Structure 1
Amino acid sequence: MEVYKLFLDILTPVHIGAGSEIEPYEYVIGEQFHKIDLSKLLLNLSSEDQKQFNKLLETNIIACREFINKKFQGKDCVLYSSQVSEEIKAFYKSKIADPRNQLIIHPFLREASCLPYIPGSSLKGSLRTALIFSLLEKDYSGKESGDILEAILLKCERGWLDRNQGLFITKGLDPQKDPFRCIKITDVMLPQNTTVIQRVDTINKKDGVIKSMDIQLIKETTHSEYTGTPFSIVTELRYDEQLLKTNRDIKKKVTMQEIMDSNKTLSGKVIDYELEKYFNNHPVSDVYKRLKGLWSGLNKNEFICRLGWGSGYNSMTVNLKLSRQKTVKTRKLINGLIPMGWMKGRIEKIKQE
């Protein structure tokens, strides 16, 4: 077993969603965002207040918001807290009594003890996408796509031999043959006070003009270097070379250098595309020029990658290698200026078990 450390500097805000939404009667915002333990809050209320809350919950959701805000009793009934942008603080105060605004918040993924974390599976998926991208020929125009194309590139096809045609008919990906079975990445807990509730803009480019689509999205994201609060995370990556030796079905060996190089390839293509074909002279191009400078100075064991919601279609697919590329006109930006999900990585071997 080869054991590596995976170091990640968070360059721009990352959002790994929990697949849930937080309604405004489930939280309050003061100096911080507080996710409320409604059960505890209700237990601490008088029986009269409990009856009033239950009635409001059924009949007047706006009054319910205001009731929770008024009766909030501090840390005793808080599941977890997060920092919140000044913009969202002001927005919350101005809209809490507005029935036209839902004030829904999309939280970061958290484990049972309510600590935010990035799953190792998400990191592994990001690295995998980059490898598939680098293995695909330029201007690919074949019929295969999705799982079948992935299976062919990673040499882990599932199918059968058609003896009449003398061809192997690929029907999909066989997990038992997947070379990424040899790679395990540990979940990584985020350091304390590294998430923030903030606005995400959806922008659209039409006829060369970039405009906000005025879609309200409030997300819990990480802080980041490019938003003024840099931090890093470290996790463990294990490569089981013994599995590769004993399982002859795994035909492709994936090396750490190949993973790093392929992430450089994909990130470089995306950065160039955003600079040259999307943002051009838009203020966001300054961020991509900064990323381009960082990319150009990477060491052999360093790479740039992208992770999470809002990373964009081109970063999560092989689109930029296709002869007929899909044109995606929208982007997600923090406060209309910062693209999401960019990280600088480094892999170092620490031991052999």
Structure 2
Amino acid sequence: MRQTLASHTIKLTTLSPLHIGAGDEYILSPYSDYVQRGDSLIYIDTKKLQKSIQGDKALVDAFVNGIRQFENNRSTFVLEDFISGQLGMEIDDFAAHVVKIEGDCKKAHIHRFISTAGKPFIPGSSLKGAIRTAVLVDWLLNRKEGELEMNKIRAAVNNNDTKKAKEALENINPEQACFGSIEYDVFRHLRISDSVFIDASNLMVGGMKRVTLPSEKKKKQQQSKIPQWSEVICPSVETTFSLSMITPLETTGFDFLDHQSVSQLFSIVNQVSGISCRRELAMLKSAQGFSVFADFYKKLEKHVTSLKPNEAIIRLGGGKTWFDNSIGLSIDSNEFGPVKLFQKYLDLLLGIESSPFPTTRSAIVKNDVPVYPLGWVKLTLLKN
């Protein structure tokens, strides 16, 4: 069989704030990297700032000693005061660009969005990983081969010998059973590029908090006291990326790969996203303080069910739950068994005995109200 390459351009539209972290080493400091003015952050050209201080020992000492001054475990150093007082200049003299911020970050560190030369983009690896998880969940729920793997997991969980049950679960590899070993992985026939660069003006900084769902033990909603401030891509921002499929030399058992069909792949993705939405709505149904958050999912679930064949909705980046990153949606299903069997699976695999699970959600919070979940995007196949 002669191999052919079918390439497609996919438009990506953010439906909720999206954060894909650049890594722990890429963090903005309030002592050198930004100044907040109202609802804006002024990013500082640090090279220009460094150049203005360099070579002047008194200025270097003033800067270093200023950062080292603490009161009640917080630095009293104010970058804007240093620039106006010690340098005799204005913040605008060092401004690189301005980003909108929701709320007061109170001189917190800010996690950056992944970028190249300051230009944000969505990595192809993030897209491919999310699609791969959706295909695996669908395979476990809807394919005979997947049913056999589910039977193995079910049998392991039902073993009354805890030690043997754990060992059996650790030896089961549904991902390899689905896609094949590393050297023969069928997903090598699917290639996804990084997205086109996104203009930095589409970034905002938002405060993400871990918000606890009320339970029998904790009747009220609780939030982490300190938000994690992060750069996010705003909702309704568009970019594009390339999705390519290579004709396999032998049939893979996956129609979307064997026939190079994006619509069939999107159908799988949408089924799994629909399951995820319905699960979230069930979990949020009686959770106080989550009405705005739940409204987002109500609209999203309707959106998923009304998509055209050339459209898909999927979740990317930070803020996803365990279910979005694992086979959890397959195990927490009627096909797997009763709720108690799922809870036993969680206890064996993760050491989690309580319900609901997970007990928290990452959310963009405004005025202590969870407003947005993170990472939901829409994909649209464009005509070549």
TM-score normalised by length of structure 1: 0.78
Separation (CA, whole Å) in 1 of partners of 2:48 and 2:35 = 15
Change (3 A) 1:145 1:8: farther
Matched, 1:107 2:141: no
The gaps in structure 1 that reach 5 residues or longer are 97-102, 158-173, 225-229
Separation (CA, whole Å) in 2 of partners of 1:265 and 1:209 = 33
Matched, 1:221 2:229: no
Letter in 2 for 1:114: G
Deviation at 1:74, TM superposition (A): 4.1
Deviation at 1:43, TM superposition (A): 1.6
TM-score normalised by length of structure 2: 0.72
Separation (CA, whole Å) in 2 of partners of 1:267 and 1:219 = 25
Change (3 A) 1:64 1:145: same
Change (3 A) 1:69 1:133: farther
Residues 218-262 of structure 1: CA distance to partner in whole angstroms, max 9, x if unpaired? 1111111xxxxx222211112222xx22xx697766242332122
Deviation at 1:186, TM superposition (A): 1.9
Separation (CA, whole Å) in 2 of partners of 1:125 and 1:37 = 35
In structure 1, the residue matched to 2:264 is 258
Separation (CA, whole Å) in 2 of partners of 1:77 and 1:186 = 35
In structure 2, the residue matched to 1:342 is 376
Separation (CA, whole Å) in 2 of partners of 1:77 and 1:118 = 28
Matched, 1:152 2:142: no
Aligned with 2:141 (options 137, 143, 146): 137
Matched, 1:200 2:234: no
Letter in 1 for 2:110: I
Q: Secondary structure at the match of 2:264?
A: helix
Deviation at 1:307, TM superposition (A): 0.5
Letter in 1 for 2:278: D
In structure 2, the residue matched to 1:171 is none
Preserved contact between residue 11 and residue 240 of structure 2 (Cα < 8 Å):
yes
Aligned with 2:359 (options 316, 326, 329): 329
- The within-5 A match list for 1:257-276 is 257-276=263-282
In structure 2, the residue matched to 1:319 is 328
Preserved contact between residue 37 and residue 78 of structure 1 (Cα < 8 Å):
yes
Preserved contact between residue 178 and residue 250 of structure 1 (Cα < 8 Å):
no
Separation (CA, whole Å) in 1 of partners of 2:277 and 2:23 = 28
Separation (CA, whole Å) in 2 of partners of 1:259 and 1:144 = 29
The gaps in structure 2 that reach 5 residues or longer are 154-167, 337-341, 347-356
Separation (CA, whole Å) in 2 of partners of 1:63 and 1:321 = 51
Deviation at 1:306, TM superposition (A): 0.4
